[in-house]
Amino acid sequence: MKLLPEIKVYQKRPALDARPLERRVGLIILATDHTSEPDFRRMVASERIGVYVARIPYANPTTPENLRKMQPALTAGAALILPDEPLDAICYSCTSASVVIGDAEIEAAVQAAKPGVPVVTPPMAGVRGLRALGARKISILTPYTVETSRPMAAYFAAQGFDIASFTCLGFEDDREMARIAPAKLVDLAREATEASADALFVSCTALRAAIAVTGIEKAIGRPVVTSNQATAWNCLRLCGDDAQRPEFGRLMTLPLPRD
């Protein structure tokens, strides 16, 4: 048996950077989510910006009642992301639940664990994106049932948008929503967009819509805002990243508007 070498302790402690990465974005996602994490890795993460993820419990079907059940887990989920360290932004990545629970309630739950952190939700980011694009009259496409779509319609109407058309696909399981091919979303968006609409909002963080944005914009001839594209854009701008990324749609070329 060979003798082990003596283990020496380095006498001079190395100097430490303030942070491993300059900016930090927290991402709270559903246990069943297939899409938000890859989308944020693609659109937000970089050598400058880190994305740190926590998953919280969720059980299908996607009904207002089940969506509302996630609210108590939001504080614990936020607390698990780099405990005791500040974040530059934190996103709760569920559009339908954000509408049902309410942006203010989500912000309060997250800030109970991360005081003062800017909180982003998909519908909130969607509204900011549509306003940045100058849209007033919109079409909306969701994968949900009519029951789950109704609160979404009410949310955007309350934000002052004229809803020219609203189309839902009738899905109850977010894992199935994630399996809709991006190319099919282009076809669906074409059918769902009313001719008089200024823009299209494609709801749901489960949909692989962010990678289809440029195809949809080409197909319908107007701007498109999707849940994950909008939250990624919002988080990037909060991190001081103003770079234009037209490969993710017209929205990704614009600054964040002042609320």
Can 23-123+230-249 and 124-226 be said to share one CATH topology?
Answer: yes
Instruction: Tell me the average pLDDT across 65-85.
Output: 96
Query: Would the pLDDT of 2 be above 90?
Result: no
Name the class of domain 23-123+230-249: alpha beta
Q: Is 142 helix (H, G, I), strand (E, B) or coil?
A: strand
Give the fold, CATH level 3, of 124-226. Rossmann fold (3.40.50)
- What does the CA dihedral 251, 154, 77, 57 come to, rounded to 10 degrees? -120
pLDDT averaged over every residue in the chain: 97
Range list of β-strands (E), the chain: 23-30, 49-56, 89-92, 119-120, 137-142, 162-168, 199-202, 224-226
| Domain residue limits, the chain | 23-123+230-249, 124-226
Instruction: Tell me the average pLDDT across 169-175.
Output: 97
Model confidence band, residue 259 (pLDDT cutoffs 50, 70, 90): low
pTM (predicted TM-score): 0.95
